[in-house]
Amino acid sequence: MLWFFIALAGYFFLALTFILDKLILTKSVGKPVVYTFYSTIFMFGALFAWPLGVELLHGVDWLWAIVSGVAFGFGLWTLYKAVKSGEASHINPLNGAMVTISTYGLSFYFLQEKLSVLQICGMVVLVTASFLLSFEKSRKHKGIHMGFVWAVVSGILFAVSHVSAKYLYELYPFLTGFVWTRATTGLVGLFVLLFPSVRKTFKKKKTKEKPKTKAKRYAGVIVVITKILGVLAVVLLQYASAIGSVSLVVAMSGLQYALMFLLILFFTKFLPKVFKEYFTKRELAIEWVAILLVVFGSVLFVV
């Protein structure tokens, strides 16, 4: 059950990452495409692990590495667009539910992954909990909006990335599969350079800038911390997928959203100037029920 605890640690770091992503997108960077550039271009840094014994891939496996990396990059972009237009505590759970459903379907068809009855029940419970956590009634939105559409598209892209990466993990050592599926994400960073808003960030502004808010002043530090946490989370989750079932690791994302919801509640209550989200009493009740379902669903994976 080592994969379970490794995945749990990964999802905790990912919960922190998503909260910081929302903070950056709303108060500092603003444009999802710009944040996508800085989130993907540095993935080429995975190539620095080459001296540690990374092997070259063979034939068509290069295609699957590119598919995994590029799908992951575009998954980030569409997720940032979703989070930009909605509440992180609602958008991300819907995204996770779609990742789980899509990953199970793809891994069952392409990798012939089979789960026990209890594990399938646990997955159904976690997906149900994720959908409940995605229920949104805020000052901006009530019910379905464009952010949810982007979240669904992102979920499918992440699933394609996870399953194609798992395919490579079954053929090559973990480090080899990880490096090539992450380094190719950098191709998305090169692609978004075509957008003027991205290139504009390299130019010095001649006009006098308005006094910066604290979020903008420390934007660079926050981005660095976010990327470190994100890389750590990805490494842990990819390793858990390599040694365990990719469907089960992805299904555990409900734990991430439960942790994220608790962190958001903490910030909203005690540090509203740093991060705050709007909740109705009914919404809170639904979210607590979802958290209990997350705990129950996760238990089914380890019994």
pLDDT of residue 28: 52
pLDDT of residue 162: 93
- Six token digits for residue 217: 């002043």
Instruction: Judge whether 86 and 136 are in contact, CB under 8 Å.
Output: yes
Say if 214 falls within a structural domain.
no
Say if 204 falls within a structural domain.
no
Residue 145: CB atoms within 10 Å:
16
pLDDT of residue 27: 58
Kindly report the length of the chain: 303
Say if 157 falls within a structural domain.
yes
**Range(s) of the domain holding residue 237:** 2-198+224-302
pLDDT of residue 126: 74
Say if 99 falls within a structural domain.
yes
Say if 298 falls within a structural domain.
yes
Q: How far apart are CA 280 and CA 136, in angstroms?
A: 9
Say if 118 falls within a structural domain.
yes
Q: Give me the half-sphere count of Cα atoms (radius 13 Å) on the Cβ side of residue 24.
A: 27
Say if 145 falls within a structural domain.
yes
Number of domains the chain contains: 1
Short-list 30, 134, 33, 28, CA closest to 74: 33
- Six token digits for residue 141: 């939105």
pLDDT of residue 176: 95
pLDDT of residue 61: 97
User: Which stretches in the chain have pLDDT values below 50?
Assistant: 211
Instruction: Judge whether 224 and 72 are in contact, CB under 8 Å.
Output: no
